[in-house]
């Protein structure tokens, strides 16, 4: 994920923090400082840090349970609205998906129980709305928020964990694509309700959550529909074969001219023998141009960690390769290594529309 950077590894997954997370810390600290000075600011910042440690534990609940079914979690990213565990895939057996989905909220319930039963934290559900006030007690607030995270995530709508449980249950009685579409629609209805509540109450956090839920629900539905289509197609049927290529020694300026001249968002970089050596993205061209580095050679700017697949590779394998490496595209080559085309999420989406999968 862009604007995020690694802070370490734990249980085989890379921990990342999004830059906007620090904006949240600054905002929380400033509000608390305005109300109660430095002691209140420090306590609230520590509270947010403790809360996000609980969020990380929640995400590792998913990750470690998924590992039982052979599914890796390359990274977990902290965002201002929570955590995001990037699992390589979700189990498609309903029972396994339910266990993976419930593992996260179960961790929060366990944390709540430890804080209340073992450490004796005092909680009052009526005070949850005033959770920002330090007078309510550090451990008590932390226990209440963990309980809230567990309950909120069990709502039966995507992208919450309860939505995955709902989808898995529905998929027992109907195909997975339709089940996902029903759960995603529930998520978008929930997002609309949260957005309306945020507008009427003047709560920007609810608006942010509503936006995230709406986008994530739609993305999940599209991803499952893509995978359903991919099981019946091969790489050769989805690849882009008409394109302008760049050489490693071309300049960013030349790449910019190609960007204007064509409709491409990505440019394969081929050496003198026609071998694929990397991919230059539109965003990279924009970034270099904005910094005035238009004379840099393409090989210094291009992405080299691009997955390669053969012409006969199933499209589902293409998705997996793209997702594992979080790559913008996948290169398609012949057995000899000759580059013949590339596949992006955008052109697969267009393929889906032509096959009538989005609206079915």
Are the beta carbons of 87 and 64 closer than 8 angstroms? no
Please, are residues 340 and 239 in contact by the beta-carbon 8 Å criterion? Answer: yes
Contact 151, 102 (CB under 8 A): no
CB 153 within 8 A of CB 161: yes
Q: Which of 39-48, 190-199, 287-296, 300-309 has the lowest mean pLDDT?
A: 39-48
What pLDDT, on the 0 to 100 scale, is given for residue 108? 92
Distance between CA atoms of 48 and 273, rounded to whole angstroms? 54
Angle at 136 between CA 103 and CA 108, to 5 degrees: 5
Q: What average pLDDT does range 8-25 have in this prediction?
A: 77
Structure tokens at 206: 């609810």
Query: Considering only 9-13, 63-67, 268-272, which range has the smallest mean pLDDT?
Result: 9-13
| Candidate from 25-39, 310-324, 325-339 with smallest mean pLDDT | 25-39
Largest separation between any pair of C-alpha atoms in the chain: 70
Residue 246 phi/psi, 5-degree rounding, is -115, 160
How far apart are the C-alpha atoms of 136 and 71, rounded to whole Å?
41
**Do 26 and 99 contact (CB within 8 A), yes or no?**
no
Q: At what angle do helices 138-153 and 94-113 cross, to 10 degrees?
A: 160
The structural domains of the chain, with segments of one domain joined by +, span 4-230, 235-354
Q: Which CATH class is domain 235-354?
A: alpha beta
């Amino acid at each position: 994920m862009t604007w995020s950077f690694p802070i370490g590894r734990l249980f085989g997954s890379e921990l990342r923090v999004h830059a906007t997370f620090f904006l949240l810390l600054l905002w929380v600290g400033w509000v608390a400082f305005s109300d109660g000075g430095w002691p209140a600011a420090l306590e609230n910042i520590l509270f947010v840090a403790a809360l996000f440690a609980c969020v990380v534990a929640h995400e590792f609940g998913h990750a470690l349970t998924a590992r039982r079914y052979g599914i890796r979690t390359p990274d977990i990213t902290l965002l201002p609205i929570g955590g995001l565990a990037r699992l390589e895939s979700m189990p498609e057996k309903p029972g396994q998906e339910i266990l993976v989905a419930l593992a996260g909220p179960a961790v929060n319930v366990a944390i709540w129980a430890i804080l209340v039963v073992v450490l004796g934290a005092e909680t009052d559900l009526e005070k949850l709305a005033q959770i920002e006030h330090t007078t309510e007690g550090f451990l008590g607030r932390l226990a209440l928020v963990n309980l809230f995270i567990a309950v909120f995530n069990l709502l039966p709508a995507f992208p919450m964990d309860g939505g995955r449980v709902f989808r898995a249950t529905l998929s027992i009685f109907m195909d997975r694509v339709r089940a996902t579409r029903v759960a995603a629609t529930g998520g978008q209805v929930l997002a609309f309700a949260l957005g309306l509540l945020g507008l009427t109450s003047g709560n920007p956090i609810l608006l942010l959550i509503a936006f995230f839920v709406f986008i994530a629900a739609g993305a999940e539905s599209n991803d499952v529909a893509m995978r359903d289509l991919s099981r019946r197609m091969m790489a050769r049927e989805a690849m882009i074969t008409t394109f302008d290529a760049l050489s490693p020694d071309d300049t960013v300026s030349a790449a910019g001219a190609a960007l204007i001249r064509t409709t491409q968002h990505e440019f394969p970089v081929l050496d003198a023998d026609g071998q694929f050596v990397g991919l230059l993205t539109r965003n990279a061209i924009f970034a270099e141009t904005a910094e005035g580095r238009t004379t840099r050679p393409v090989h210094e700017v291009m992405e080299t960690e691009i997955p390669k697949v053969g012409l006969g590779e199933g499209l589902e394998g293409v998705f997996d390769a793209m997702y594992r490496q979080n790559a913008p595209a996948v290169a398609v080559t012949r057995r000899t290594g000759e580059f013949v085309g590339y596949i992006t999420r955008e052109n697969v989406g267009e393929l889906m529309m032509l096959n009538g999968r989005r609206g079915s």
